[in-house]
């Protein structure tokens, strides 16, 4: 029987559905928000399907239009506000038949699905069956030919939402870094007690088929031993584990012992390795006072971290673009990320590769399972093994290849500096190099040589670096001073201490310092050694990279700050906060933070601020508060970089808004200042510090045995490591195509081309600030303003 209570004519605007399915994950709400707003911006309508495929099968009130303001504040909410469920009936064709009918009745022919590989497989099956489902619906009289005619093709786009990070083809899934943050917070909390009592802790983390969370938490917390499903330990692992832990404790003086066990950990015969078994082994064999902590569902909860907020936002935007660009022939895409680049991959290729890993593990073919994991995962695993304990006789280099490697931190402190130094020390010891810390940057080195009572240059022992694993700032001390302050003495020091290589962790000053040393090579032989900069600065303004250590920690600090401040508005009324961010002459932090908190506007030095802009934005705010009744209780945020304008300071802007609002809303200025350097580094900064530091050290050691002249002639002997698009690359500082001459805006202390500038458009689109066809104009023929409750 044909259903008549819906019009058969297609709707005026294209309708895009969005659903979250499978296990929930922090960041899913950010994805739904971005899909809804981007769809509206693109002149489409957005429909949420509540409770995953259950809503699609049941229809009725479970599929509802979402409007611009319905998703306000969703970025900071954990879980999924449109609900998720496992749905048995969608696994069967009759269930999908009902789902198809429900979609057609609402005029929806595109679906963005955020879930794991199961959910995405379901979506793809649905798409492939779509023509047959429509045919059947017409044949059985459920729908008329006329009703189905406009919807012959179903567009499916996948977003991967999963805390496990178990999908092949993407570096990260929406939710995995938030979950890692929960784990690291919990382990950081037991650190002190483990240290005080010299205890052992066995921590069990989620991951039935994928060891990503376990591996990354092991790296982030300096675990002594790790169990992951895809790389079971060799037989006799009990002895191996006890041997290493004993060595770490007795010979090296480590006071705390951490073992991380993935939920799906197993031995090579597929026997489960449980956390309680590991605890018993440590207790019985080593007499170690050991406690077990099974983290369970705390790993799923809580608000999304900064990375998940901007990832879900950018991927949601990309999903809508993909829907609009798809042709009937194009395979369903899944939106992925490689390093720093949002990409599209055929959905079923990614699902197939993911499922292959699981089946290889089941067949005990662990080597193949590991090769099918993403290259990033393998690199992290290699980096962890090389640094968890410096005890790898096979990795020791012959005497003539061993180097004296100096480690120095330059510039303002940034999260990840300690972790990079720690990784460098461990890697040096593993390979037989001598790690030498220079304390307090170049001024520390120069002072030391002047024979003051300081000891700024010294070899570092592994156990000293143990505590650095989760500490913020720079333990060896960092300083903005440059070698040019006394280049002569700097050269003398390099010679005296026989540095064979230099590893510099820091921001724009670190870049400048290496540039000075490189240019002074003509005069000083001592600088004819390989040098590499690992960028670490919250400003993220180092040429040669799109990502600097510390920037993620800073973003997390900023979103915490903004969440708190915004919450305070819910008990007052109609408030706009103008928040001043650091970042020097680079608007990166302001923009990315703006994207992650859903700022109304972001003011950056690259664009400046003028009176017209302010007038427009005040009008926009006035309009916003007037139309959107729900906004009364939601604080709005404007981000302003500290150098965006010398006239329109943060306070001046706040005062102007207040004045112009004429009592309809008010405004406050807030300056988080050094709070932005963060407390403990974020897990992302910790793990990237390790991986990048080891790449740097590998690069440095490739120069072992080369003559000074050979080194000086090689442009890659003074480099910056960086993320560029989807790759991690070294870029030469000097030479015709080098960073110094081509990519550096020396006056403004930032790269000439800033990759993130285009994100400004996304911030504007999602806040509705762009003015054009976004937001309010779409309500002109629609008198509803009442927001629906999140759940039916
Ligand atoms: P995840 O998406 O996290 O992998 P599941 O595997 O439980 O979680 O899948 C979630 C939902 O997706 C299932 O409850 C089901 O409704 C749907 N689904 C999963 N696999 C299929 C499939 N092969 N065919 C149709 N629907 C599926």
Q: Domain-by-domain residue ranges, the chain?
A: 15-173+304-359, 177-299, 393-549+681-734, 552-679+758-769
Determine what percent of the chain is predicted with pLDDT higher than 70: 94
Nearest to 559 by CA among 308, 306, 307, 182: 306
Contact 125 CB / ligand 1 (< 6 Å):
yes
Question: What is the CB neighbour count within 10 angstroms for residue 228?
Answer: 26
Residue 248 gets which letter from DSSP?
A: I
What local confidence, expressed as pLDDT, does residue 790 receive? 37
Residue 787 confidence (pLDDT): 33
| Joined tokens for residue 732 | 């030469």
Judge residue 709's burial from the number of C-beta atoms within 10 Å of its C-beta, 0-12 exposed, 13-18 middle, 19 or more buried: exposed
47-56, 67-76, 633-642, 776-785: segment of lowest average pLDDT: 776-785
Tokens, residue 125: 């099956």
CB 21 less than 6 A from any atom of ligand 1? yes
Asked if residue 358 has its Cβ within 6 Å of ligand 1, the reply is no
Q: Which atom of ligand 1 is nearest to the CA of 96?
A: 25
Strand arrangement of the beta sheet that strand 225-227 belongs to: 225-227, 257-262, 200-205, 290-294
Confidence of residue 475 (pLDDT cuts 50, 70, 90): very high
d(CA 600, CA 407): 42
Among 460-464, 467-471, 558-562, the range of highest mean pLDDT: 558-562
Is the Cα torsion angle 506, 507, 509, 514 positive or negative in sign?
Answer: positive
Give the rounded percent of residues in the chain with a pLDDT score beyond 90: 73
- Position in ligand 1 atom list of the atom nearest CA 117: 4
**How close is the Cα of 123 to the center of ligand 1, in Å?**
8
Number of Cβ within 10 Å of residue 351's Cβ equals 25
Looking up tokens 């800073």, which residue turns up?
A: 554
The burial class, CB within 10 Å (0-12 / 13-18 / 19+), for 484 is middle
Q: Which of 80, 119, 159, 355 to mutate to test the pocket of ligand 1 (most atoms within 8 A of CB)?
A: 119
The closest residue, in CA terms, to atom 15 on ligand 1 is 87
Render pLDDT for 661-673 as a digit per residue (tens, 0 to 9).
Answer: 888 888 999 999 9
Give CATH for domain 15-173+304-359.
3.40.50.450
Whether 358 has a pLDDT exceeding 80, the answer reads: yes
Q: What is the DSSP string of 387-438?
A: HHSS--GGGPPPGGG--EEEEEEESS--TTHHHHHHHHHHHHHHHT-EEEEE
Residue 425 near residue 462 (C-beta atoms within 8 A): yes
Q: Which two tokens stand for residue 443?
A: 């001024």
**Nearest ligand 1 atom, CA 53:** 16
Q: Do the Cβ atoms of 445 and 493 come closer than 8 Å?
A: yes
The answer to whether the annotation marks 675 as part of a ligand binding site is yes
CA-nearest residue, atom 20 of ligand 1: 118
Q: What dotted CATH number matches 393-549+681-734?
A: 3.40.50.450
CATH topology of domain 552-679+758-769: Rossmann fold (3.40.50)
Q: Establish whether domains 177-299 and 393-549+681-734 are of one fold.
A: yes
Checking if the pLDDT of 346 tops 70, the result is yes
In degrees and rounded to multiples of 5, residue 2 shows phi and psi of -70, 140
Task: Band the pLDDT of 572: cuts 50, 70, 90.
Answer: low
pLDDT of 630 = 60
Q: Print burial letters for 126-145: b (CB count within 10 Å at least 16), e (below 16).
A: bbebbeebbebbbeeebbee
Check whether 775 has a pLDDT greater than 50. no
Q: Are 597 and 634 in contact (CB under 8 A)?
A: no
Q: How far is the CA of 550 from the centre of ligand 1 (A)?
A: 38
Is 60 a known ligand-binding residue? no
Do residues 82 and 161 lie in contact, with contact meaning Cβ atoms separated by under 8 Å?
no
Q: Which has the closest alpha carbon to 229: 349, 373, 353, 350?
A: 373
Cβ 202 vs Cβ 261: under 8 Å: yes
3-state secondary structure of 658: helix
| CA of residue 495 to ligand 1 center, whole Å | 63
Find out whether 420 and 456 touch, Cβ atoms under 8 Å: no
Q: What is the four-CA torsion angle of 777, 781, 785, 790, rounded to 10 degrees?
A: -90
Pocket test for ligand 1, best of 19, 21, 83, 130 (most atoms within 8 A of CB): 21
The rounded distance, in Å, linking the Cα atoms of 435 and 424 is: 7
Which of 759, 342, 748, 764 has the alpha carbon at shortest distance from 591? 759
In terms of Cα–Cα distance, which of 554, 573, 538, 544 is closest to 733? Answer: 544
> In the chain, what are the helix, strand and coil shares in percent, each to the nearest 5?
50, 15, 35
Closest CA to 724 of 600, 599, 544, 531: 544
Q: Which of 164, 308, 560, 628 is catalytic?
A: 164
Longest dimension (CA), the chain: 95
Q: Which residues pair with 46 in a beta bridge?
A: 16, 66
Q: Is 363 labelled a binding residue?
A: no
DSSP of 476-516: T-EE---GGGSHHHHHHHHHHTT-SEEEEEESHHHHHHHHH
124 annotated active-site: no
Mean pLDDT, rounded, for 82-86: 91
Q: 90: Cβ below 6 Å to ligand 1?
A: yes
Is the distance from the beta carbon of residue 87 to the nearest atom of ligand 1 less than 6 Å? Answer: yes
pLDDT at 774: 35
Q: Is 255 in the pocket of ligand 1 (CB under 6 A)?
A: no
Q: Which residues contact 725 (CB under 8 A, 6 or more apart)?
A: 338, 339, 340, 341, 546, 755
Angle, alpha carbons 681-684-689 (nearest 5°): 80
Residues 278, 204 contacting (CB under 8 angstroms): no
161 CB less than 6 Å from ligand 1? no
Answer yes or no: are the C-beta atoms of 21 and 122 closer than 8 Å: yes
**Residue 464 pLDDT class (50, 70, 90 cuts):** confident
**Ligand 1 proximity of 122 Cβ (cutoff 6 Å):** yes
pLDDT, tens digit, for every residue of 756-773?
998 999 999 998 886 433
- Which helix (H) or strand (E) segment holds residue 375: the answer is helix 375-388
Bridge partners (DSSP) of residue 201 are 258, 291
| Closest approach atom of ligand 1 to CA 85 | 14
Which burial class, exposed, middle or buried, applies to 637 when counting CB atoms under 10 A from its CB (0-12, 13-18, 19+)? buried
Q: Is the dihedral of CA 117, 121, 124, 126 positive or negative?
A: negative
- What's the pLDDT at 725? 86
| Architecture of the 177-299 domain | 3-Layer(aba) Sandwich (3.40)
Is position 447 annotated in a ligand binding site?
Answer: no
The reply to whether 428 sits in an annotated binding site is no
Q: Quick check: 706 pLDDT over 70?
A: yes
CB 64 within 8 A of CB 348: no
Upper half-sphere CA count for residue 484 (Cβ side, 13 Å): 11
Q: Is the CB of 22 under 6 A from ligand 1?
A: yes
- Whole-number mean pLDDT of the chain? 90
Can you give the length of the chain in residues?
792
Please report which confidence band the pLDDT of residue 417 belongs to, taking 50, 70 and 90 as the band edges.
very high
């Amino acid at each position: 029987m044909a259903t008549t209570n819906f019009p058969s004519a297609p709707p005026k605007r294209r309708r895009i559905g969005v659903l979250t399915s499978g296990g929930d994950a922090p960041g899913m709400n950010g994805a739904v928000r971005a899909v809804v707003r981007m769809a509206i911006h693109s002149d489409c309508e957005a429909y949420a399907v509540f409770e995953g495929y259950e809503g699609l099968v049941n229809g009725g009130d479970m599929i509802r239009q979402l409007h611009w303001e319905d998703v306000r504040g969703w970025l900071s909410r954990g879980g999924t506000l449109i609900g998720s469920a496992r749905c048995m009936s969608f696994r069967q064709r009759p269930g999908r038949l009902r789902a198809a009918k429900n979609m057609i009745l609402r005029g929806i022919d595109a679906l963005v699905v955020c879930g794991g590989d199961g959910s995405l497989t379901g979506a793809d099956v649905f798409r492939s069956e779509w023509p047959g489902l429509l045919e059947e619906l017409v044949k059985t009289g459920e729908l008329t030919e006329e009703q189905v005619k406009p919807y012959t093709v179903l567009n499916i786009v996948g977003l991967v939402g999963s805390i496990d990070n178990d999908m092949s083809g993407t570096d990260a899934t929406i939710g995995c870094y938030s979950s890692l943050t929960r784990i690291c917070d919990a382990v950081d909390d037991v650190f002190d007690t483990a240290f005080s009592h010299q205890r052992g802790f066995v921590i069990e983390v989620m991951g039935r088929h994928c060891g990503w969370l376990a591996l990354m938490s092991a790296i982030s917390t300096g675990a002594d031993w790790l169990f992951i499903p895809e790389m079971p330990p060799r037989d006799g692992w009990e002895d191996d584990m006890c041997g290493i832990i004993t060595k770490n404790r007795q010979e090296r003086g480590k006071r705390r012992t951490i073992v991380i066990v993935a939920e799906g950990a197993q031995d090579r015969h597929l026997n489960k390795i449980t956390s309680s078994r590991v605890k018993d082994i440590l207790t019985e064999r080593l007499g170690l006072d050991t406690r077990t902590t099974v983290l369970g569902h705390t790993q799923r909860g809580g608000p999304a971290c900064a990375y998940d907020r901007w990832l879900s936002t950018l991927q949601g935007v990309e999903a809508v673009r993909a829907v609009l660009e798809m042709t009937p022939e194009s395979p369903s895409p899944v939106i992925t990320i490689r390093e720093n680049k949002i990409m599209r991959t055929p959905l079923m290729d990614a699902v197939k590769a993911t499922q292959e890993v699981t089946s290889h593990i089941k067949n005990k073919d662990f080597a193949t399972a590991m090769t099918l994991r993403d290259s990033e995962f393998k690199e992290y695993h290699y980096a962890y093994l090389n640094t968890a304990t410096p005890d790898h006789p096979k990795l020791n280099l012959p005497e003539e290849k061993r180097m004296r490697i100096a480690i120095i931190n330059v510039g303002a402190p940034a999260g990840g500096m300690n972790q990079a130094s720690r990784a460098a020390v461990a890697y040096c010891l593993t390979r037989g190099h001598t790690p030498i810390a220079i304390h307090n940057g170049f001024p520390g080195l120069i002072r030391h040589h002047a024979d003051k009572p300081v000891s700024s240059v010294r070899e570092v022992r592994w156990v000293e670096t143990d505590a650095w694993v989760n500490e913020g700032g720079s333990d060896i001390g960092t300083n903005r001073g440059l070698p040019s302050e006394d280049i002569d003495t700097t050269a003398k020091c390099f010679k005296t201490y026989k540095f064979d290589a230099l590893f510099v962790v820091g921001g724009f000053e670190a870049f400048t310092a290496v540039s000075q040393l490189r240019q002074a090579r003509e005069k000083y032989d001592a600088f004819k050694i390989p040098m590499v900069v690992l960028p670490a600065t919250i400003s993220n303004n180092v040429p040669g990279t799109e990502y600097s250590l510390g920037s993620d920690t800073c973003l997390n600090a900023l979103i915490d700050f903004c969440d708190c401040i915004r919450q305070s508005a819910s008990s007052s009324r109609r408030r706009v906060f103008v928040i001043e961010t650091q970042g020097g002459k680079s608007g990166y932090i302001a923009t990315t933070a703006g994207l992650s908190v859903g700022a109304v506007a972001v003011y950056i030095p690259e664009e400046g601020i003028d009176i017209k802009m302010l007038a427009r934005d005040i009008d926009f705010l006035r309009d916003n508060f007037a139309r959107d009744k729900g906004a009364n209780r939601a604080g709005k945020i404007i981000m302003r970089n500290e150098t965006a304008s010398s006239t329109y300071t943060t306070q001046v802007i706040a005062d102007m808004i207040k004045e112009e609002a004429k009592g309809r809303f008010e405004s406050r200025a807030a300056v988080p200042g050094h709070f932005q350097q963060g407390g403990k580094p974020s897990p992302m900064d910790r793990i990237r510090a390790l991986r990048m530091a080891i790449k740097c050290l590998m690069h440095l050691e490739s120069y072992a045995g080369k003559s000074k002249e050979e080194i000086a002639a090689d442009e890659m002997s003074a480099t910056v490591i960086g993320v560029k698009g989807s790759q991690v690359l070294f870029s030469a500082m000097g030479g015709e195509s080098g960073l110094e001459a081509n990519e550096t805006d020396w006056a403004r202390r930032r790269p000439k081309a800033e990759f993130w500038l285009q994100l400004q458009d996304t911030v504007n689109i999602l806040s509705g600030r762009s003015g054009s066809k976004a937001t309010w104009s779409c309500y002109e023929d629609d008198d509803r303003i009442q927001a629906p409750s999140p759940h039916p």
